[in-house]
Structure 1
Amino acid sequence: MGMSEVDLWPQWFWLPPGVSWEDLEQLGADQPRPRDLLLALPLALAFITLRCAYERVVAPPLARYLGVRNRPPPPPSPTLEIFYTQHSSQPSQSDIITLMSQCDKTQRQVDTWFRHRRNQDRPSPVRKCGEASWRFLFYISAFLSGLAVLIDRPWFWDQRECWKGYPLQHLERAHYWYYQLELGFYLSLLLRVSVDVKRKDFKEQVLHHLATSFLLGFSYVSNYIRVGTLVLLLHDASDVVLEFAKMLHYGTGWRRVCDGLFIIFAVTFILTRLLVFPLWIIHTTLVVSMQQFQPFAGYYFFNALLLVLLGLNMFWAALILRMAHRLLLQGELDKDERSDEESEEERDDNRDEDEEGRWDRRTGALNSKLAQLTNSCVLNNIANHRASAACTMRKTR
């Protein structure tokens, strides 16, 4: 490591007391170097390019196979389209009255047209399914690959092995690529976050991606790679089930399968992220590691990032438990409150649909009552007419 790199990467921050960059140089080619992280950026661009091709070529037919359908467009109406594009997508009551006279439509027809038109400007179910399937494809590949390169390593079964000889630990080539691909993928998510479908936990997702990227970068430079691979494997386990459930959620006829997958996901999430992660991983980084070296700045920084991830896991766990409560009460799930919640505008449209349903029910009940009233009036008129006719006949006699 040159002098410029030493100035950029001060060893007092990145390494435990008594260890220098020169000591790491003794590992030869099997040492993590800060400049290795530069490979993550071209990998992120490669992921973005591959994803664009996937969403154009593979995702649409996959969505059709799963029964995913886009929303139907509203019937053509040049007057309403001009108002929508040039004035507002949410017309006021006075605007609706004006448009009713111009288009010769009822208020309900105008409201329905604007609701369907707004839906056309929002992310389609096919696009959402494509995003979920892309993430599922990566997470299942990353999880299986991580499991293959870790299951026969001693620190996979005994976390105390993570600190044996730390930080003078050789970097295996498989773990090098495991780290680089994971970091490149999370960087690609950050670069695409402005154009991806925004969800209810958008801010939490951005914070998660940032914390994960910093965690990967720092743990690589400081050679926290053994414990870092365990963190990656734990978090990928539940994401595999989640993204697969999302894929099926947008299709038709998969409701029972989605409910079953949600149960598997909830159990996996709680076990890996709220039990194994704090009780094994964070415990070994906070407590067990202190048996091998003294605290240093990087030690506090690394554990702070782990605690940020734990806090996000607890936030998502609260949403998952709320969904589980709904599943027990209603017997089915309507929404994924963790990260596939609809936007505020979409929920407004759902409320519009609910109000439309209530209006139909009220209208049906009103028509029924009017019909009963009409029949009653007709019957009364017939009875009165017959009584009058009978009275007239008696008088004639």
Structure 2
Amino acid sequence: MDWMEAVLNEWIWRADLWLPPGTGWEDMEVDPEQGHIPRPRDLTYSVPLTLAFIACRCVFERVVAVPLSRLLGVKDRVRVRAVANPKLEAYYKHNSRQPSEVSNLSKQCGLSQRKIQTWFRHRRNQDRPTNTTKFCEATWRFVFYLLSFIVGLSSLIKTPWFWDSRECWKGYPKQPVADAHYWYYMLELGFYLSLLLCVSVDVKRKDFREQVIHHIATIFLIGFSYCSNYVRVGTLVMLVHDSSDFFLESAKMLHYAELTCICDTLFVIFAVVFLFTRLVVFPFRVVHSTLIVSLDFFEPFFGYYFFNALLLVLQALHIFWAYLILRMVYKFAFAGKVEKDERSDEESEEEDEQELEDEGDGGNWELSKDSINTKLAILANNCVLNNLTSQRSINSRLPKAR
């Protein structure tokens, strides 16, 4: 371990990269009674915390979230299970979930192409997460974000840099870190590491890539800001993010429980808090402090540019999500309700189970014919407007047609 630390100190944790010019790691010593100066080795404590979060989540979802979902009446859709077929199962797992070789599969299995497509539709629906699964995930995040926000606010509200951003930089980098802020950092880092490790098994959403980028940027931001003792401004960044997330997760919980009125109310609150904190407080208070105000206390260096680059990546993601949220607010204002989460689950949309069966089945042909006739009647009705607009030209040609 000593040789590894020596290599890291020589190539990565170089003082000239991460500290202002003229400052070394040996200069960052303070009175132990005032607190301690962050060291890169402190980040290793986040690894057992990450594993602890994953274990706690498994227990929490089974012991707390699942019973709560039943209490709130969360219902899972009954799905038709695909009939066991080894050849189709192998193709589904190793090739594609959307078959492009339907005719070849039909010959290999002795089934019609329509039955092959139906099998894959049922198989895809089997793998889609249930409402209970999504409810448990939202509940776990809601509990963490709520507790994290309460702990962060209570530890910061009495600090001078909570009210005055210039206090973030006075005496930098020789700023002692209180135990409360140290554990606030370690818990946030451990939680986001657990989210990144579990991202492949969690519910996939349309912004899956953006979520991965967000988790990675957040982890780098927390780790780097701690090592370079950007702890004061870092705690403000974490608090800003936690302030709206628990509203979103609680709205998701109530959405899966079909408590529409309360869900819509919480979503509106979330939208207001998100837009204010991420598009006003974050750029004009936090980013402005790190980009502009900090230069009154030290000269720019590599760590300064690296830290601000990560903050700007987060701000770009904030703008992307704000666009999705404003679309939802627009739908809510004009439709009277939130029609669909713009960040909805990529794999959660059920495919229609009532597809027409194979045309070769004699008993189902009459049902298919009735369904087709019904659809043609609907199509004809939808064309009434076009018929009316061209009525004069039709009437003029009617005698000739007769």
TM-score (norm 2): 0.79
Query: Could you tell me which residue of structure 2 aligns to residue 11 of structure 1?
Result: 15
Query: What whole-Å deviation, never above 9, does each CA across 1:341-375 have from its counterpart, x for those lacking one?
Result: 333xx55726x77999xx9987557799xxxxxxx
Distance 2:312 2:371 in 1: 51
Query: Could you tell me which residue of structure 1 aligns to residue 125 of structure 2?
Result: 119
Distance 1:149 1:21 in 2: 27
Query: What whole-Å deviation, never above 9, does each CA across 1:262-291 have from its counterpart, x for those lacking one?
Result: 111111110000100000100010000111
Q: Which runs of 4+ in 1 moved over 4 A?
A: 75-78, 81-84, 86-98, 109-117, 352-356, 359-368
Secondary structure of the 1:30 match is coil
Distance 1:30 1:87 in 2: 57
Distance 1:314 1:353 in 2: 40
Whether 1:172 aligns to 2:178 is yes
Query: What whole-Å deviation, never above 9, does each CA across 1:197-252 have from its counterpart, x for those lacking one?
Result: 11111110010011000000111011100000000000011111011111111112
Query: Could you tell me which residue of structure 1 aligns to residue 274 of structure 2?
Result: 269
Q: Give the paired residue count.
A: 355
1:236 to 225, 236, 242: 242
Secondary structure of the 1:58 match is helix
Query: Could you tell me which residue of structure 1 aligns to residue 329 of structure 2?
Result: 324
Query: Could you tell me which residue of structure 1 aligns to residue 225 of structure 2?
Result: 219
Query: Could you tell me which residue of structure 2 aligns to residue 280 of structure 1?
Result: 285
Measured at CA, do residues 169 and 325 of structure 1 come closer, stay the same or move farther in structure 2, by a change above 3 Å?
same
Distance 1:136 1:222 in 2: 30
Measured at CA, do residues 24 and 348 of structure 1 come closer, stay the same or move farther in structure 2, by a change above 3 Å?
same
Higher relative helix content: 1
**8 A Cα contact 2:18 2:302, kept in partner:** yes
Whether 1:292 aligns to 2:297 is yes
Distance 2:103 2:15 in 1: 69
Query: Could you tell me which residue of structure 2 aligns to residue 314 of structure 1?
Result: 319
Q: How far is 1:196 from its partner? A: 1.3
Alignment of 1:97-246 (within 5 A): 115-246=121-252
**8 A Cα contact 1:73 1:117, kept in partner:** no
Query: Could you tell me which residue of structure 2 aligns to residue 394 of structure 1?
Result: none
Q: Percent identity?
A: 55
Report the aligned-residue RMSD: 3.4
Distance 2:191 2:52 in 1: 9
**8 A Cα contact 2:30 2:36, kept in partner:** no
Secondary structure of the 2:225 match is helix
Measured at CA, do residues 21 and 365 of structure 1 come closer, stay the same or move farther in structure 2, by a change above 3 Å?
closer
Alignment of 1:38-57 (within 5 A): 38-57=44-63
Structure 1 counterpart of 2:52, one-letter code: A
Distance 2:283 2:64 in 1: 38
- Structure 1 residue ranges without an equivalent (≥5): 369-397
**8 A Cα contact 2:153 2:239, kept in partner:** yes
Measured at CA, do residues 202 and 76 of structure 1 come closer, stay the same or move farther in structure 2, by a change above 3 Å?
closer
Distance 1:87 1:22 in 2: 60
Distance 1:292 1:365 in 2: 72
**8 A Cα contact 1:245 1:258, kept in partner:** yes
**8 A Cα contact 2:203 2:345, kept in partner:** no
Structure 2 counterpart of 1:206, one-letter code: V
Measured at CA, do residues 179 and 86 of structure 1 come closer, stay the same or move farther in structure 2, by a change above 3 Å?
closer
Q: How far is 1:14 from its partner? A: 1.0
Structure 2 counterpart of 1:184, one-letter code: G
Structure 2 counterpart of 1:149, one-letter code: S
Query: What whole-Å deviation, never above 9, does each CA across 1:293-312 have from its counterpart, x for those lacking one?
Result: 11111000000000000000
